[in-house]
Structure 1
């Protein structure tokens, strides 16, 4: 467990927090006028390793050498010139900070990125963070990496911290080891694919409708970019059911019907070992570490060595664990033991989940951010997809 303190005066700015992986939807902008919930779970923080936040530079101002050094392989609208290592927390976990109204941005329905931090240390007045809660943005507090320092939660002397900007440092408060895949599989319920979306139009929050989950749309954007990059320009098949409903329309529209098709399958803890003909594995990311599940992580029953080697050669497509588990195990599992099974011939009396009003659409922003960071985007056909992204949005794919 760690706390973050002001680098200027040492005042503590957060409650004790545990580090988790940065959510795939951290930088998502969803819809128009939508009231999104808090990004981070209470008691957690995540680190953005890339520069993020103001000031921003237009693509025309970035040299090819600088773009390559930052891992950007295709043109984007703008790049952040901020410091790498921004720390994101839940707003309710912040302490000892006050707003700087003159530095705020947004103001459509709340606060967004302005020209710099819009929150200051209450003790010394140094700007330390940006509160984000404008419409269509995930609510969060982003701590400026050069204005805070990370301390073990049990360290009562703020002067013994790891130093300004050391968001990646370790200490005696690192906490327990990450959960194993089997433990995650037993405890994780997953992210529902469909959920009510609320608009700011109603002060009482009554203006809502059932829609595809924003988290699912962002996860699909990341995964689709990897699937296209690994396709070699050939068609891709995916498992039937929910996985097909998420990816099938986009894959059929963006890839030519070139055979033999490449095969993408779900793989991960608790699932059978993927067959030798799998070209891509849709695998979960560990929610605490961000690491991808590997066929070598399969424990019981162990697969033959040659089968593991073939599966290890397949391209691993990342999915957030909460999304992956609902694709791999579509039926929600009871969180508490039930006293018995439903008798034969008795139908369930709970209503089915409401259906969205439109087919699944992939988050274009997450898709673009992922694809431009994959070297395969340099190919002409993938570059054309980026160039025609607005057209694909109008067609309802994104």
Structure 2
């Protein structure tokens, strides 16, 4: 069974046409290797070497906060690394490692900056080995959602995790017709961490529909001290993405006018105080002006690309609909200075990006109901949510809908082409 990681490593460079057979073999080997590795860890404890993956336990978009012992350097390294370490106390949590062939240099390859881009590829998750290098969260949802997050083995067995025939990573929500309480779902976290740089996520489908609350985001240690950057997030039937930062006290916006901040956003949401403790954890959000940037509209348009740039000028989030993805991104030679105004921008002038954000890991998750989707169940007026989910479904509570309507979650899945991390010699 110990040859499975080698099979995965070899499969990473196999052309898609030849990868189908290897994917089946690799899938079996991964499942066996994951189980064996877990058993060996339990049996031998500290005797076996451990990767230095960061494990962050944190309460996302909840009024509560968590204390912890995780620490990180605020140095503007701009590097992806597998060395971020830390733990936190408070709400208990655990993660299960997916058997990994990824290292600090990633599953992708890059000889360095190209002639047209100063950005170096440091980490790439794509194709048949997309899930290598991610930890699967397998404990209760810190945002109080009606979900049971399952690990890779259980998720695969339940049909919730796969790399499909198009080579895209798929993460679903359980569709059993009725459940007594919660539905199985997936939440994954990169084992490698990063401080500064450029993160580019290409997705063709995201979860949508009443009760859903999907997000693609990054988070630092000892939340909110290490900061949080919500790149893609929304609930229920929303069609316009909301990007948000949550920080320790001291990070603010100079204005609630997106144009004055250098952003194309249609609105600043949550106010100008970005601190979780003093903003009721609303943070500083910015709503996309594009009605195809989230949910069913995003999916119907073939998806698109999100990019988050973190440098000495601040933090920016860009969105490109499928038909408007810059050629430099497709070529693997990104040139953010040619992309125009970002969808969202938090300037460094009033929020030092190296003080309030460091040692982040990237996360995908889909929860149901919880602190946001549940509380917005009876609300309307947000783009895409002209009618409340309570009125549209006939269920008075989000949780009752989740328990009774399994078929309603046929669109509650992520389908991701790739996630790539870049850094530059000067940030």
Q: Please state which band the TM-score falls in when normalised by the shorter chain.
A: under 0.3
Higher helix share: 1
Higher strand share: 2
Structure number, greater radius of gyration: 1
Structure with the greater relative contact order (CA < 8 A, sep ≥ 6): 1 or 2? 2
TM-score (norm 1): 0.25
TM-score (norm 2): 0.24
